[in-house]
Chain A
Amino acid sequence: MNINITSAKYNQYLGENCSLTVVTEDGRIMRVPIDTDNTDYQAVQAWVAAGNTIAEAD
């Protein structure tokens, strides 16, 4: 779906990146899986391709 991303950050489970916390312009906070079939993850990939960076996990 159409989302306007303001930030994205990796989440980890057992030391591995497993999802992203994505914040959108309209205030949504989503846990987006690292799954190329997920359309929100596809939007994150496009956001990165546009020059943005996913922050590393804490």
Chain B
Amino acid sequence: MSSIKLKGSTSGDVTITVPAVAGTNTVTIPAASGNLPLSNLDHVTNRPNAQPLIINGDMQITQRSTSTTGITGTGLDVQDRFSRVMGGAGTWTQSSDTDVPTGQGFTKSMKWDCTATASVVAGSLFTIRYIFEGQDLQLLKYGTSNAEKVTLAFWIKSPVTGTHIASLYQFDDNRQVSKAYTVSSADTWQKVVLDFPADTTGVIDNDNGAGMGIELCFRAGSNYTSGTLNTSWASYTAANQFVGQVDACASTANNIYLTGVQLEVGEYDATTIPPFQHESFGDNLTRCERYYRQSYSIGTKAGTATQLGSTMVYIPAVGNTLRYTLHHYGMRATPTFAEYNPETGTAGIGAYEGSGDTNSEAISTTFGNEHSTLLYNTAMGFTGSFYWQYILSAEI
């Protein structure tokens, strides 16, 4: 380690020390006058993205539900933005949990509790998946000689030790790359930092469709493990995607926890990875609502019998037309609309006041775009208050 000491004109001195690092390193001082913000240097991170690339990486937002039982297949049920690919992996309960790594600022984790096992078959698969819109990843410059490496980091608490596989999949050109990591201690929080190569060949389309997906694997059958792990970007070959993955789904004693998922542009290791960017709950929720929103309170399942949050209009006379516009600015695409009876939770209908509150009437059609949806019924069959709960989904 070498140092340069600059002595003050009257007293004191400043020492500039070069750390003991290999290779030739260059620090460029800008041609400007001013004072360095020394007090903030530990917090300066040169990210090309203003917000975290991954939405809800701290697992705070659970609009649809805080716990869902009996999961056996692909879908999205609890933590916003995080879906799963599942088949032949048993039965699971997914929930929001307060078991988190100590001292990291996280308060919620995604928990998976295996409640029934299933034997591994060739097509077995269980991955937790996150999908980015293509237009949000243009900063990666994929398909050019300037393509960027990325680093994926997350906190995991796996019930089994050994090799686990993380994978990136690029939808537009059907390309994929994998990275193995080792869980060294079962049922123990561990921070994983994985750098992935740049893809100078495949181009992520600049649109609102699926651009790239992250998949964290916990079970894979031979359809996904019989080849050679694909550690460089290449055309997708299923057999090369999850080679070496240990089975985390073999016991009903198994619980999987995940939080603090972040993707950074550039190559980092466990020492240099920038800190997780914590967002406010409100900012996080707003970003999630681009993909899903509901009239129910956060965490209340669609189909729950409750009036809380429901929308109500008054129908003055039998035969009147219903025209009601739901505003939902900036969703990813025109959303799917689904209505529920607030009194019974029944899907596909609303409720109206009459002789008791269990009467029902359906909204006959919807007509909308990413900002608003017109709810329409040519001729309502009653007079009085008509009310309904709803969900809007533009998931990717």
Contact = CB atoms under 8 A, between A and B. Distances in A.
Interface in A1-47: 1-2, 11-13, 18-19, 21, 23, 27-33, 35, 37-41
B238 interface: no
Nearest to A14: B367
A13 B374 contact: yes
A19 B366 contact: yes
Contact of B395 (A1, A19, A23, A28): A1
Interface residues of A, number: 22
Contact of A33 (B348, B366, B395): B366
Interface centre among B73, B334, B339 (most CB of A within 10 A): B334
B363 interface: yes
Contact of A1 (B75, B209, B347, B365): B75
A39 B365 CA distance: 19
A2 B364 contact: no
Nearest to B376: A13
Nearest to B210: A39
Contacts of B337: 19, 30-31
A37 B334 contact: yes
B333 A35 contact: yes
Contacts of B76: 1
B365 A11 contact: yes
Nearest to A16: B367
Nearest to B85: A2
Interface in B364-379: 364-368, 373-374, 376
Contacts of A23: 348
A4 to B, nearest CB: 9
Nearest to A34: B334
A27 B365 CA distance: 18
Contact of B336 (A12, A18, A27, A40): A40
Contacts of B74: 1-2
Interface string B378-396: 0000000000000001111
A37 B335 CA distance: 9
Given A1-B76, A37-B332, A38-B334, A13 B365 contact: yes
Contact of A32 (B336, B348, B367, B376): B336
B83 interface: yes
Interface string B344-367: 000110000000000000011111
Nearest to B337: A31
Contacts of B374: 13
Contact of B365 (A2, A31, A35): A31
Nearest to A57: B365
Pick the most buried of B75, B334, B365: most chain A CB atoms within 10 A of its CB: B365
A1 B334 contact: no
A18 B347 contact: no
A31 to B, nearest CB: 4
13 contacts: A13-B367, A19-B366, A27-B347, A28-B347, A29-B338, A30-B336, A31-B336, A31-B339, A31-B366, A32-B336, A37-B209, A40-B393, A41-B336
